[in-house]
């Protein structure tokens, strides 16, 4: 069975609180987490920063509950887009962008949602859960996204924090489920405090409120998250065959850089 995945741990400026958050995720049983960096064009926060590396954050990674293995920490970039020109950053291979494992977009209107589903080179499309959905989710764009292996992300912490947001979360989730029938959904937290995080089994159960079936809800916290990671990996290297070679490394070399990769393109 694939391990449990939480793809949205927001990047907090204080290192200490981020450490606590990751440690409590490991304690709850998540075997992989992704630290989320948000770029919002309306807030003029345009520069892509280099993501924090796990070795910088922890001297020894926290152990996952029930697995006796250390937690895996990834990085994820989320673009909040309200104009098609904002997506250029994904095409322009700028210096820091290659360090991210997963790309996500947060479309602000229906046109951009369609663009994100059909043409943009991303892994995740975020669904707004804090306010009423400003557009209708259309079946053609969702079908194309499902064919391309793009997943939709629903965030559950706003539902815990506030009762009006809980209403919006449930109604937006249900309207999405009507179109995609419970497939290609990823449930993640976006928790800023350790107490807002919930265990993976609790989140899978919460999927029932969002209109998922039992098996789809469990997939939304485990296998679908893994599929997103693999999609991101394929995008980073090549869409065809990836051939890696192991090279003996000196201990002082940085662990976060991947081993030498030989990439071969298939048809």
Partner 1 sequence: MIESGDGKGSKPSSYERIVLKNASEYYYLKIHLEFEEVGISLNAFEFKQLIISALKQLHGEVGAALPVDVLSYEEKNLFAILRVPITGLVKLWSALTLLDTYQNRKCAFRVIQTSPFLLALAGNSRELVLD
* Minimum gap (Å) between residue 36 Cβ and partner 1: 21
Closer residue to partner 1 in complex, CB, 121/202: 202
Q: Cα(184)–Cα(220) distance, rounded to whole angstroms?
A: 8
Pick from 184, 199, 63: which is nearest to 127 by CA? 184
* Minimum gap (Å) between residue 155 Cβ and partner 1: 13
Closer residue to partner 1 in complex, CB, 14/43: 14
Closer residue to partner 1 in complex, CB, 70/110: 70
Under 8 Å between Cβ of 51 and 73: no
Q: Is the dihedral of CA 133, 136, 141, 143 positive or negative?
A: positive
Q: Cα(78)–Cα(101) distance, rounded to whole angstroms?
A: 11
Q: Which residues bind partner 1 (CB under 8 A)?
A: 28-29, 65-68, 159-161, 163, 166, 193, 195-199, 201-203, 205-206, 208-209
* Minimum gap (Å) between residue 119 Cβ and partner 1: 37
* Minimum gap (Å) between residue 128 Cβ and partner 1: 19
Angle between helices 139-148 and 163-180 (to 10 degrees): 80
Question: Environment class of residue 63 by beta-carbon count within 10 Å: exposed (0-12), middle (13-18) or buried (19+)?
Answer: middle
Closer residue to partner 1 in complex, CB, 92/195: 195
């Amino acid at each position: 069975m694939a391990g449990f995945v939480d793809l949205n741990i927001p990047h907090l400026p204080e290192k200490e609180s981020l450490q606590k958050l990751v440690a409590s995720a490991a304690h709850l049983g998540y075997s992989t987490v992704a630290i989320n960096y948000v770029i919002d064009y309306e807030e003029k926060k345009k520069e892509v920063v280099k993501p924090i590396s796990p070795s910088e954050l922890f001297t020894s990674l926290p152990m996952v509950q029930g697995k006796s293995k250390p937690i895996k920490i990834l990085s994820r970039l989320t673009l909040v887009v309200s104009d098609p020109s904002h997506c250029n950053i994904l095409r322009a291979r700028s210096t820091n962008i290659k360090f991210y494992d997963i790309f996500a977009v947060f479309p602000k209107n229906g046109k951009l949602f369609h663009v994100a589903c059909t043409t943009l080179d991303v892994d995740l499309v975020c669904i707004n859960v804090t306010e009423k959905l400003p557009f209708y989710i259309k079946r053609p764009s969702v079908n194309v996204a499902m064919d391309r292996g793009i997943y939709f992300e629903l965030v559950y912490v706003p539902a815990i924090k506030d009762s009006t947001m809980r209403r919006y979360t449930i109604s937006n989730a249900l309207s999405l489920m009507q179109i995609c029938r419970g497939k290609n959904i990823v449930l993640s937290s976006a928790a800023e405090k350790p107490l807002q995080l919930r265990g993976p089994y609790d989140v899978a159960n919460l999927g029932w409120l969002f209109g998922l079936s039992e098996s789809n809800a469990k997939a939304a916290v485990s296998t679908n998250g893994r599929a997103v990671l693999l999609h991101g990996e394929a995008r980073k290297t090549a869409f065809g065959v990836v051939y890696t070679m192991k090279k003996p490394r000196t201990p002082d070399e940085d662990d976060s850089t991947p081993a030498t990769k030989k990439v071969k393109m298939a048809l």
